[in-house]
Amino acid sequence: MPHPRRLARTTLGFALLALLALPAGPARARPFTDAAGRVVEVPERAARVVAAGPPASVLLYTLAPERMAAWVRSPSPAERPYLAPATWGLPASGRLTGRGGTANVEAVLALKPDLIVDVGSTGPTYASLADRVQAQTGIPYILLDGAFARTAETYRRLGAVLGLDQAADGLAAYADRTVAEVAARVAQIPEAERPRVYYARGPRGLETGFSGSINTEILEVVGARNVAVGGNGLANVSPEQVLGWNPDVIVALDPAFRPADDPLWQGVKAVREGRVYRTPTLPFAWFDAPPGVNRLIGVRWLAHLLYPAQFPEPLPAIVADFYQRFYHVALAPEAVDALLADAVPAHRSRDAGR
């Protein structure tokens, strides 16, 4: 891997911004109605914010890295070069919500946050959790909508809470522009001519997200046809089931999944034709895991991958621009190449933008 100094440079003066963010006196509160309809008294200026789970952590980092009190999970050595160095050493808080919650009230209190932010479902279960944690800690806890279609709205709501409306508007506008541009170009392609795609999770590629799942939302955004229909959420399937679906393209999450080397997969059209692509995962996966705002670059990538004639722009330039805007790093060309390895056809990886 290229040396971190060659991959990234900090694009914000985080140390200075962190000092400016410190309150000069007792914090004043104001009411804020979150996406679950809860009215929460939030501080006028939240200088230290804790994310309740991975999607919230990504959202908070992209908008206000200088306000982060912790990561949910500490960045790995492979992830750090794709993140602002000023955030590498932040402590890990664990997750307050979702599967495998690891945080506890004492750990959260030790971070002395002004605000807790959660992003995802806004249903009664999560609203109840937010109320309970807020009552236990005395820390304001807000819920924001994690649906991909609400990405721009969620940025603007977080911007309003943190007093960062202008920065939030810029990221929200990018989200709106991305979705509108992809939808307009894909609309020109008859549905019957759009590729049938299987999303492969896990080392054997036999976990997938069914149509309508939050884990496969961006397939619908790019107009692709998810072959996994007739189920709910994430589920395990058999090789025979995938063979029956016979997808045109496979998008894989786990690098250990190598269907070209497995006789069970040889009959699948996507494997026979060499159309198995691996979603980039640094510093956050582009397709899923977590299903957060990190999927914005995934939409751009999938559109270029699935519809090269409609999206001829150089993908490396789009990737570099996204990482500058959202992840606060300037990527060297070799870092972009590393991200796109196995994610696009070899000739497009070599030639695009060169």
Residues 6+ apart with CB under 8 A from 218: 148, 287, 295, 298, 299, 302
Name the token pair of 183.
């939808």
Crossing angle between the packed helical segments 165-186 and 315-327, to the nearest 10 degrees: 150
Min mean pLDDT across 100-114, 148-162, 227-241, 263-277 is at: 100-114
Q: Which domains, and CATH codes, for the chain?
A: 4-175 (3.40.50.1980), 190-351 (3.40.50.1980)
**Residue 273 pLDDT > 80:** yes
What is the pTM assigned to this prediction? Answer: 0.89
Task: List, for residues 10-45, the tens digit of each pLDDT value.
Answer: 443 443 334 334 444 445 899 999 999 999 999 999
Task: List, for residues 311-320, the tens digit of each pLDDT value.
Answer: 999 999 999 9
Name the token pair of 114.
């002004």
Compute the mean pLDDT over every residue in the chain, rounded to the nearest whole number: 90
**Contact (CB, 8 A) for 14 and 67:** no
353 exposure class (CB count in 10 Å sphere: 0-12, 13-18, 19+): middle
Name the token pair of 200.
């492969």
Which residue carries 């679950």 as its tokens? 36
79 exposure class (CB count in 10 Å sphere: 0-12, 13-18, 19+): middle
CA distances from 8 to 132, 145, 324, 350 (A): 40, 31, 9, 22
Amino acid 274: pLDDT: 96
First to last CA, the chain: 21
**Residue 143 pLDDT > 90:** yes
Task: List, for residues 191-240, the tens digit of each pLDDT value.
Answer: 999 999 999 999 999 999 999 999 999 999 999 999 999 888 999 999 99
Per-position DSSP letters for 91-125, written without gaps between them:
PB---SSSTT----HHHHHHT--SEEEEEE--SHH
